[in-house]
């Protein structure tokens, strides 16, 4: 019986080896597509555009090129352009995609498309046109009746602007908007997973930080770097506090540190309020466990943050909300938990 099992396992191993050899041979025989051009005028479509084998709408269709896709123009023939266009795989790489059966560098699709609605790197005011198109798609994404892929179209158009026109005064903003849209889409998707409720951040799947970190690195000291840095705090937050003071304590620290780093940033008032709120929560948590000293310390810290908001951002709702928090704390009205009185 043992001998038969060994033969069976040997046969299975041999079969897998032969199958792998067959796959390798098949891969070697696979015809290689022509290499895309190393350089050429860059372009992107403002509308979903068909790609054809020949510069003729009667010829065979190759694929649809979505709004905002990166393209390189090979040649022009009247109202037609021969292009190489990036695929969805290249624009949105999946870190968890299987390695077997996947090309390391997917080859862009090639063909002819009508030149209408194509913005190139030589189009007059192209950066402004792309910014307007991206902002329009972003507005459509917020419309319940808008196209399903409007957010992705906006993200790609913003990215094209930043890539094609890095010296444009609109490039920093476009880079952040592209990164932020991607971040918010990932955040919404991951919030549907069960792990999103885990207390410790390392126990849940994280949003990809690469695009936002590039904004911080490339545009230091700008409004857009400050906005990107604020987004990045999301990955450090607890999914659910689960009654643990460790979570609001660390989160308050993150937000206050952000406010120190970006004292006049567009999210600084919000960061100070979120830090104050977490200190108010800590006051209630420590009071519930009978730790009077830590509860008073958190109360005083919340008041100090509220005063900082009032001094530096008096005209914001966040300053007023922080004053409300302190009023509740002074009146022993719970901010966290249920008021039983």
In a domain, 124, yes or no: no
Q: What is the DSSP string of 99-134?
A: STT--SSPPPEEEEEE-TTEEETTSTTHHHHHHHHH
In a domain, 65, yes or no: no
In the chain, how many domains are there?
Answer: 1
In a domain, 292, yes or no: yes
Burial (CB count within 10 angstroms: exposed 0-12, middle 13-18, buried 19+), residue 224 = buried
pLDDT tens digits for 281-319?
999 999 999 999 999 999 999 999 999 999 999 999 999
- pLDDT of 256 over the 50 cut: yes
Separation of alpha carbons 89 and 98, rounded Å: 13
Per DSSP, which regions of the chain are E strands? 42-45, 49-52, 61-65, 71-77, 80-85, 109-114, 118-120
What domain range includes position 289? 241-336
In a domain, 48, yes or no: no
Kindly report the average pLDDT of the chain as a whole number. Answer: 86
In a domain, 270, yes or no: yes
Structure tokens at 110: 């090639």
In a domain, 49, yes or no: no
- pLDDT of 89 over the 90 cut: no
- pTM, entire model: 0.81
Separation in Å, CA 56 to CA 43, 79, 118, 292: 20, 10, 17, 80
In a domain, 280, yes or no: yes
pLDDT tens digits for 110-133?
999 999 999 999 999 999 999 999
pLDDT band at 93 (very low <50, low <70, confident <90, very high): very low
In a domain, 2, yes or no: no
């Amino acid at each position: 019986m043992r001998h038969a099992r060994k033969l069976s396992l040997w046969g299975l191993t041999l079969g897998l080896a032969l199958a792998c050899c067959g796959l390798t041979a098949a891969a070697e025989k696979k015809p290689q597509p022509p290499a895309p051009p190393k350089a050429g005028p860059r372009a992107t479509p403002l509308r979903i555009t068909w790609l054809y084998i020949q510069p003729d709408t009667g010829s065979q269709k190759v694929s649809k090129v979505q709004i905002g896709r990166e393209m390189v123009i090979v040649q022009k023939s009247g109202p037609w352009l021969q292009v190489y266009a990036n695929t969805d795989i290249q624009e949105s790489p999946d870190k968890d995609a299987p390695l077997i059966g996947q090309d390391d560098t997917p080859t862009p699709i090639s063909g002819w498309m009508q030149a209408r609605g194509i913005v190139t790197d030589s189009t007059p005011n192209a950066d402004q046109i792309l910014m307007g198109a991206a902002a329009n798609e972003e507005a459509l994404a917020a419309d319940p009746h808008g196209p399903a892929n409007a957010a992705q179209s906006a993200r790609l158009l913003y990215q094209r602007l930043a890539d094609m026109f890095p010296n444009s005064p609109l490039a920093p903003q476009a880079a952040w908007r592209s990164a932020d849209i991607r971040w918010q889409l990932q955040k919404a998707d991951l919030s549907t997973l069960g792990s999103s409720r885990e207390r410790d951040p390392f126990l849940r799947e994280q949003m990809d930080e690469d695009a936002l970190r590039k904004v911080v690195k490339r545009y230091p000291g700008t409004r857009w770097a400050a906005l990107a840095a604020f987004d990045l705090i999301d990955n450090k937050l607890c999914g659910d506090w689960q009654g643990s003071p460790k979570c609001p304590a660390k989160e308050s620290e993150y937000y206050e540190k952000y406010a120190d780093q970006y004292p006049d940033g567009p999210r600084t008032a919000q960061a100070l309020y979120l830090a104050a709120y977490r200190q108010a929560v800590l006051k209630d948590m420590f009071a519930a466990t009978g730790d009077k000293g830590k509860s008073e310390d958190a109360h005083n810290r919340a008041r100090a943050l509220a005063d900082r908001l009032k001094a530096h951002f008096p005209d914001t709702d966040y300053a007023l909300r922080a004053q409300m928090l302190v009023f509740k704390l002074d009146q022993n009205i719970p901010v966290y938990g249920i008021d039983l009185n």
